[in-house]
Structure 1
């Protein structure tokens, strides 16, 4: 059960990070540090997921 809970949490982190990175990238005022941060969190979560 804890393994399934961890995988679900990682999926939420990946989806949220990707959503936020794309949302920030499409705004008129781009904050590249925030975009890089959310992309990094998504990449790290993916590395833990696999």
Structure 2
């Protein structure tokens, strides 16, 4: 990773935001799993 940063030090901000967005999406996916489970259970109960 350091070699990549050394190759183009001006673009660190773009890489940082992309990494941050990936981390936030992963966190959101993890936190929404119980909600998805509840919705699936409700849909099965209605069927």
| TM-score using structure 1 length | 0.49
RMSD of the TM alignment (CA)? 2.0
Which runs of no fewer than 5 residues in structure 1 stay unpaired?
33-50
Count of aligned residue pairs for this structure pair: 29
Query: Which structure is higher in RCO with an 8 Å CA cutoff and minimum separation 6?
Result: 1
Structure ranking higher in helix proportion? 2
Q: Which runs of 4+ in 1 moved over 6 A?
A: none
Which runs of no fewer than 5 residues in structure 2 stay unpaired?
1-9, 41-47
